[in-house]
Amino acid sequence: MKRPENLAFRLGTGLFGLVLVLLVAAIGVELVRQSWLSIEKFGLSFWRTSTWDPVAGEFGALPFIWGTLYSSILALLIATPISLGIAVFISELCPNRLRPVLVFFTELLAAIPSIVYGLWGIFVLVPLVRSIETSFPPSLKALPFFSGPPFGLGMLSAALILAVMVVPFTSSVAREVLKAVPVAQREGAYALGATRFEAIAAALYYARTGIVGAVLLGFGRALGETMAVTMVIGNSPKVTLSLFAPQHTMAAVLANEFSEAADALYLSALVEIGLVLFIITLVVNSLSRLLIWGMARPMTQATA
């Protein structure tokens, strides 16, 4: 029997659910609306040119998208093996009593606010990176990765700090994914005489789609990370492979220039950067969720 009160309850709570859907749509619509001026004026050349000159009214966002992608990919290269190592150690290797303690500590990494990482970055990490950079052997400085003067502020510091911030997310999802691998699968490997490494490698292979999802989730986090990166990357729009060079990211240029953007075109160009950041993270996160859901249904957030 269908009661009208029950229908009212369903519609009433559903309405609040609708708010979430509308919010996501509103963000997309509003960003497009606010950036329309810039989209119309520059079209695709916005993403192909590198001149960022608010005074002359010329806007090219290539250095920002480059900086965002480069820093995030570097962060992933550092964070992925470490995150997987942590996930394997916690879920497969460590004694049961140690497990909650380690989970707590890795999640603590996710709880520390971005601004605190940034503060630490400016006063502790950057001087440290600078001294590493100055003591770099000159022969290696011929490589494009290590060219340029050592500032400390720059891509290397940003990538390191991003890696630290990404590890708790990737490792917690990787742990959930490993948990979803049937025990029989590992027992089978051991029964065939596999070593620990071989059994775990088989489990990792079994869980590969979920693992890729976990890595992508970390990628999504890194792309949108703002404060810590802004404070250590040097904020200089340049397209270069050099790890030592100060660079810029999409999120950082928004944090730095948004409240100062006086004219409409400047503001519109900044919003377009926000729009593209929104679209990229949306795609990366959706893809990652799809892959993870194929394996297990963990909470996609590191509960710290």
Interface with another protein in residues 41-60 (CB under 8 A) = none
Segment lying near another protein (by CB under 8 A), choices 52-60, 99-107, 146-154, 172-180: 99-107
Say whether residue 16 binds another protein (CB under 8 A). Answer: yes
Segment lying near another protein (by CB under 8 A), choices 75-83, 130-138, 143-151, 177-185: 75-83
Q: By C-beta, is 16 or 56 nearer to another protein? A: 16
Segment lying near another protein (by CB under 8 A), choices 39-47, 77-85, 130-138, 240-248: 77-85
Say whether residue 271 binds another protein (CB under 8 A). Answer: yes
Q: Count CB-CB contacts under 10 A for residue 17.
A: 9
One character per residue 234-263, x = contact with another protein (rule: CB under 8 A): -----------------x--xx--xx----
Say whether residue 23 binds another protein (CB under 8 A). Answer: yes
Say whether residue 111 binds another protein (CB under 8 A). Answer: yes
Say whether residue 224 binds another protein (CB under 8 A). Answer: yes
Say whether residue 102 binds another protein (CB under 8 A). Answer: yes
Number of residues that bind another protein (CB under 8 A): 88
- State how far the Cα of 168 lies from the Cα of 38, in Å rounded to an integer: 37
SS3 sequence, the chain? CCCHHHHHHHHHHHHHHHHHHHHHHHHHHHHHHHHHHHHHHHHHHHHCCCCEECCCCEECCHHHHHHHHHHHHHHHHHHHHHHHHHHHHHHHHCCCCCHHHHHHHHHHHHHCCHHHHHHHHHHHHHHHHHHHHHCCCCCHHHCHHHCCCCCCCCHHHHHHHHHHHHHHHHHHHHHHHHHCCCHHHHHHHHHCCCCHHHHHHHHHHHCHHHHHHHHHHHHHHHHHCCHHHHHHCECCCCCCCCCCCCECCHHHHHHHHHHHCCCHHHHHHHHHHHHHHHHHHHHHHHHHHHHHHHHCCCCCCCCC
**Residue 112 structure tokens:** 């520390």
**Residue 35 structure tokens:** 């950036």
- State how far the Cα of 45 lies from the Cα of 240, in Å rounded to an integer: 19
Segment lying near another protein (by CB under 8 A), choices 38-46, 85-93, 150-158, 175-183: 85-93
Say whether residue 24 binds another protein (CB under 8 A). Answer: yes
Give the one residue of 12, 95, 137, 138 binding another protein; rule: CB under 8 A.
Answer: 12
Say whether residue 264 binds another protein (CB under 8 A). Answer: no
Ranges within 179-198 binding another protein (CB under 8 A)? 195-198
Segment lying near another protein (by CB under 8 A), choices 18-26, 43-51, 58-66, 150-158: 18-26
Q: In the bound complex, what is the minimum distance in angstroms from residue 44's beta carbon to another protein?
A: 21
Q: By C-beta, is 120 or 148 nearer to another protein? A: 120
Q: In the bound complex, what is the minimum distance in angstroms from residue 138's beta carbon to another protein?
A: 29
